[in-house]
A and B are shown apart, each in its own frame.
Chain A
């Protein structure tokens, strides 16, 4: 019962957030310099005042700000994110077409970062001044300071051009498009390696640093000494007793960072021609197609809100201490 209440409360919070994001998005459109009716008229090749007035009436531009906001909200909430100038298609369908590719890229990058980052962190915590610790220090400096599109270009030049073991870009090999399901999956994974690694580097650096710090703290705790004293093998002490607690802060931050991973994916997709939301955003910039760009912004904010809500709930279910408090 209590769990149900906390889920409902969290969902209500998320709904309010989504409404605020929609209002902000509308404000952004409203702030844009220039009269939309004149822009449309300009694209039609010039017109007179009468047609301008008709356009304003047709698009509700003659109504008050609140009325326009209401129109916008009802459209957005019924799934209408507007029409793309350039692709001449509903924005929502463009987004949904490209969403799976982006989710694949983002989730793989996060998984790589969690697994590699935690392992490096654990290794570093066992020898606080060893080479893994130094590697982590260097990695986090480089990961923080190198523009992600530069790392991507370097990886392409190294592993797709100098040593051609991975494809330069895209998601599928055109020659293998009609191969079977299994071969197709392998093809996508083969294309995924470089972009996902590029996107994960900065997070590997962060998570390994966090894992190292929290492992160092946890390894000094009383229950670890107890486990060692009662003869638990060191491997079990590290991976079962300590790691479980050390990984909690990482789980917390993954949910919070989802929006910045999505933002990083825009640049990575632009470099690797990965056909996801980022490439769509890139193309809509080149064509000055603002409805598509704003639609992507709104949609990704909603995805982030939902992901945050889910990690929050998952966290409550995993950690009994939080469940007791709420």
Chain B
């Protein structure tokens, strides 16, 4: 019977609940899935995550152990990717070094977004004096060259995984603050915000429950790209010798082997491939998300 004439209950449900495909998140995911390069990014990133999580168990060589002659070329002396200037296995360094990059990247990006969204939301929502003070603060942080400020912070507080991550968060929140502020300025004048205010919603609720959720798509894209930038920052600091001395990282491997690059190209360049691919995969995902949230961008 229901095949010919669906009963009234079902019809009501159909009116009340939109079809699942109409949910914005689901739509975005469908768009994202169709985007070849974004999916490729996801696959590469998954591969690196897998390597970092289970790689050290499958390839149990200590990255600090000396395994054979210094600067052995790839494939010789039993080292797949060669050895570095001290005779340490580069494969082991690649497998173990991702932990620092990914951990610092995620912690720093979380911190960056927390500071940036808070500052930007308060500035954009309240406007006036609050806005002026916060924007001036943002400008102050923008004129200090980010890497130099991070270098100074890490040098002063001695390099650990946490001090590196925090320093990166402190130097890179300004662009997400500006983005959040712009979104808040745009959204707070829209009708549904006025409606929420008119039924008595307080500022706190308006900021976090009404405006912020609608500002999320560009912020999610920004958070993704921020993670990539944070990984680049971390590798730059480690390259300069400002990484945690107890942890192997890709940037540190490059920095240590740079003086020997003319004799042993592999030692200084292979870790760079790992950094490049990781950040590339993240930016492909970010671009894919951006296109998924703004289908019009595709026509450009």
Contacts and interface: CB of A to CB of B under 8 A. Distances in A.
Interface of A: 17, 20-21, 24, 28-29, 31-33, 128, 141-142, 144-150, 153-154, 156-157, 161, 168, 213, 216, 256, 259-260, 262-264, 266-267, 270-271, 281-282, 285-286, 288, 290, 293-294, 296-297, 300-301, 304-305, 308
Given A147-B276, A288-B155, A157 B148 contact: no
Contacts of B143: 17, 21, 259, 301, 304-305, 308
Nearest to B276: A146
B254 A153 contact: yes
B285 to A, nearest CB: 12
Given A144-B283, A213-B300, A293-B155, A259 B142 contact: yes
Given A168-B262, A213-B300, A147 B144 contact: no
Contact of A32 (B157, B239, B258): B157
Interface in B253-281: 254, 258, 261-262, 265, 268-269, 272, 275-276, 279-280
Interface in B131-183: 136, 139-140, 142-149, 151-153, 155-158
Nearest to B146: A263
A14 to B, nearest CB: 10
B283 A145 contact: yes
17 contacts: A17-B140, A28-B156, A141-B283, A145-B280, A146-B272, A147-B279, A154-B272, A157-B269, A263-B145, A263-B146, A263-B148, A266-B145, A294-B152, A297-B148, A297-B149, A304-B143, A304-B145
B120 interface: no
Contact of B151 (A20, A141, A281): A281
Contacts of B251: 147
- For the residues of A in contact with B, the DSSP-based class is helix
Given A154-B272, A297-B152, 15 more contacts: A24-B144, A31-B157, A144-B228, A147-B239, A147-B272, A147-B276, A147-B279, A149-B236, A149-B258, A150-B272, A157-B262, A266-B147, A286-B241, A290-B152, A305-B143
Nearest to B149: A297
A297 B236 contact: no
Given A32-B156, A293-B151, A149 B145 contact: no
Nearest to A162: B265
A145 B228 contact: yes
Nearest to A282: B240
A263 B240 CA distance: 13
A21 B140 contact: yes
A271 B241 CA distance: 13
Contacts of A150: 254, 269, 272, 275-276
Contacts of A156: 261-262
B210 interface: no
Interface of B: 136, 139-140, 142-149, 151-153, 155-158, 228, 232, 235-236, 239-242, 251, 254, 258, 261-262, 265, 268-269, 272, 275-276, 279-280, 282-284, 287, 300
B268 A297 contact: no
A267 B239 contact: yes
A28 B148 contact: no
A52 B275 CA distance: 47
B60 to A, nearest CB: 28
Contacts of A21: 140, 143-144
A31 B156 contact: yes
Contacts of B146: 259-260, 263
Contact of A33 (B136, B157, B261): B157
Contacts of B261: 153, 156-157
Nearest to A21: B140
Nearest to B228: A145
A304 B136 CA distance: 15
Given A146-B276, A157-B265, A288-B155, A262 B148 contact: yes
Nearest to A32: B156
A285 B239 contact: no
B272 A153 contact: yes
B101 to A, nearest CB: 11
